[in-house]
Amino acid sequence: MRYRYVMADKEKSKSGARHPHHSSRKKASARNSAESADQPAEVTDWRRLHLWQIQPLRDIAVIAAVILFVMLGYWLSAITVPLLIALTLAYLTEPVIEKCEERFRWNRRKSVLILLVLSVTVALVFVLTALPIVVGQTLRLIQMIPSYIDKTLVYVSEHKNAESLQEFLETARQWVQGNAASKAGPAVATVGEAVRMIAGFAGSLFYFLFMVFLIPFYYYFIALSYPRIIHYAASLIRKDKQPRVFELVGKMDRAVSGFVRGRLVI
């Protein structure tokens, strides 16, 4: 046992004699670390930094840019909303366009044009068919409101002994018959109110027609260039991250597109 300890001490002394520079390096590193700990940390002079080098200012700038972008989109909603709708429609109809190219041997421009013409035709037929029905039913409902109130009063007086409810319905009937004319009269009586009403209706109609025009206009160019848009978006991703990103985007595409297309079909 004693012999083993003696041999170990000899080995340590030999290794120390064989590599004397290791101990000197350790001492030098320990000395340098002690000196660096004694020295105070270097203080950054804020006056020598640019504005984009200050982290709090960069965070504020990013937040302000996001808020400004959202506000700009809201102010330009007449343009951005049809653009987003057209982009969504191009995304949803991309499988149909691909099927037309594969099955009927049409080029992409012809497929998009035929699909756009069919969609606009179906939308116009639906609107022209449903609009008169909706307007007629609404006018008929307005005309039948007093008779509905009278029938309700008769039912309540015959089957229920609720004087408070009957008084309330009577008051409502009188208000519909009297106040409807009294409220609508001054609004149309003066020329200024009539002009403002016409101008407001014309502005709303123009805004609606402008959006209806922009949606197919945007859709045509977006659907026509949809593969190039996807290719450009893919080129913005780093090469080493593309496989993982494409895998996740593919799963999201299958889930979201299947759900949305299924809901539209239903």
Is 165 a member of any domain? Answer: yes
Is 122 a member of any domain? Answer: yes
Residue type, 88: T
One pLDDT digit (tens) per residue for the chain, 266 residues:
444 444 444 444 444 444 444 445 555 555 555 454 455 445 566 677 777 778 888 889 989 999 999 898 888 888 889 999 999 999 989 989 999 999 998 999 999 999 999 999 998 999 889 888 988 888 888 888 888 877 777 766 665 555 566 666 677 777 766 665 555 555 555 666 777 888 888 888 888 888 889 999 999 999 999 999 999 999 989 899 999 999 999 998 888 877 876 776 55
Contacts of 223 (CB under 8 A, 6+ apart): 89, 90, 93, 94, 97, 112, 115, 116
Q: What is the dihedral of CA 78, 83, 84, 86, to 10 degrees?
A: 130
Is 192 a member of any domain? Answer: yes
Is 28 a member of any domain? Answer: no
Is 67 a member of any domain? Answer: yes
Is 61 a member of any domain? Answer: yes
* Residue 97 pLDDT: 93
DSSP characters over 184-241:
HHHHHHSHHHHHHHHHHHHHHHHHHHHHHHHHHHHHHHHHHTHHHHHHHHHHTS-GGG
Q: Which domain holds residue 132?
A: 50-224
Is 215 a member of any domain? Answer: yes
Q: Report yes or no: 230 and 91 within 8 Å, Cβ to Cβ.
A: no
Our count of domains for the chain comes to 1
* Residue 213 pLDDT: 92
Is 143 a member of any domain? Answer: yes
